[in-house]
Amino acid sequence: MTRNPYDLSQFMPWLADSFKVGTWEDPETGETYTAVNFTLRRDAYWSDGVKVTIDDIIYTFLQLDDDLAARELAPPWWISNVQNIVGIDVFTPTTFRIRFNVKGIFALGWCGNRILPKHIWEPICKGETAPKSNAPWDPTTFAPDPDLIASGPWRLDEYVPNSHILLVAHKKGSTVNTGITTDPNKDAEDITSPYGYFRYYRDEDLNKDDKVNVLDAILLAGSFGAREGDPRYTRTADINGDGVINVLDAILLAKVFGWPTGEI
């Protein structure tokens, strides 16, 4: 999530399509704590073209700190944002729940923590062999990921110490050279983003395969009747965005069934 820039007291979805704050009951203690249900965007990609998944969130929030501790390294500076998370329950590839061991109004804001790409940072944090130095990767060096793989709307194009930073729009096909940063573990290279900030699909293409067919109808049927906050609810299947998946969404899908060729 991120804060609404026009009303900082409000949070808005970002890598999530939607979210809903609720509670969960610890079966061991009987205590009630805060939980947040999320529906992840299907169209979010890292700048190297790898899809953003729930695995990235689980790794960042739960596992990364353990990998660093196993090497007797300090936790990330944002550890306070995730230290009260006790579990992440995955319902589907795009729906999950984050459970906290506290009940309070600040827990929602902690879910706005940065998300790191697991395929980049797991080998770095675990100290796997770096391709250039043939030594264990060191996450304490400057820019341990010299490719600066991220999911945001901007990419680093030029950095001149004590002078300026130049960012370029994270558009489809944008290329940056990672020689800006210096890391002994990896050679600089050109990294091109194949999809851009988000890969855009038509709303009725629920599984994002550039077709509207029976597979999309099956996905809608699996969430049919679900309302926002229900584990089965997904913003992707809520085509008209009214908070409930029903016949109105089915009608919208039916209108373009067979797109783009008419094949089913």
CB 106 within 8 A of CB 74: no
pLDDT of residue 56 exceeding 50: yes
User: What is the per-residue pLDDT across 23-54, written as a single tens digit (0 to 9) for each?
Assistant: 999 999 999 999 999 988 888 899 888 999 99
Average pLDDT of the residues in 216-238: 90
Q: Which CATH code for domain 201-264? A: 1.10.1330.10
- Say which residue, 165 or 244, is predicted with more confidence: 244
Instruction: Give the model's pLDDT for residue 264.
Output: 45
Confidence of residue 82 (pLDDT cuts 50, 70, 90): very high
Residue 192: its H or E element: strand 190-192
Q: Which of 131-135, 226-230, 240-244 has the lowest mean pLDDT?
A: 131-135
What tokens were used for 101?
């061991």
Domain 2-119 has CATH 3.90.76.10: yes
pLDDT at residue 182 is higher than 80:
no
- Bigger pLDDT: 25 vs 13: 25
- Residue 230 CA to residue 11 CA, distance in Å, equals 20
**β-pairing verdict for 154-160 and 95-100:** unpaired
Mean pLDDT for the stretch of residues 236-240: 91
Rounded (5°) CA angle 134-136-141: 110
Omega before 13 within 30 of 0, i.e. cis: no
The whole-number average pLDDT for the span 120-145 is 88
- pTM value > 0.85: no
User: Matching CATH topology for 2-119 and 201-264?
Assistant: no
- CA–chain centroid gap for 176, Å, is 22
Is pLDDT of 17 > 90?
A: no
Q: pLDDT averaged over the chain? A: 88
Mean pLDDT of the 192-204 span:
85
Are 85 and 62 within 8 A, CB to CB? yes
Instruction: Report the phi/psi class of residue 197: left, alpha or beta, with left for phi > 0 and alpha for psi in -120 to 50.
Output: alpha
Do the Cβ atoms of 243 and 230 come closer than 8 Å? no
User: 12: which strand partners?
Assistant: 2
What average pLDDT score do residues 4-18 get? 86
Least confidently predicted of 68-82, 183-197, 241-255: 183-197
C-alpha distances in Å from residue 102, one per residue of 1, 9, 110, 147 = 19, 21, 12, 37
The pLDDT tens digits for 146-169 are 778 889 888 888 888 899 988 888
* pLDDT average, residue stretch 168-183: 79
Which residue intervals of 7-137 are DSSP H helices? Answer: 54-58, 64-70, 79-82, 107-110, 118-126
The DSSP element (H or E) to which 98 belongs, if any, is strand 95-100
Question: So where are the chain's domains?
Answer: 2-119, 201-264
pLDDT at 141 over 70: yes
Residue 262 structure tokens: 């008419």
* pLDDT at 183 (0 to 100): 63
Which is higher by pLDDT, 255 or 176? 255
What tens digit of pLDDT does each residue of 209-226 get?
889 999 999 999 999 999
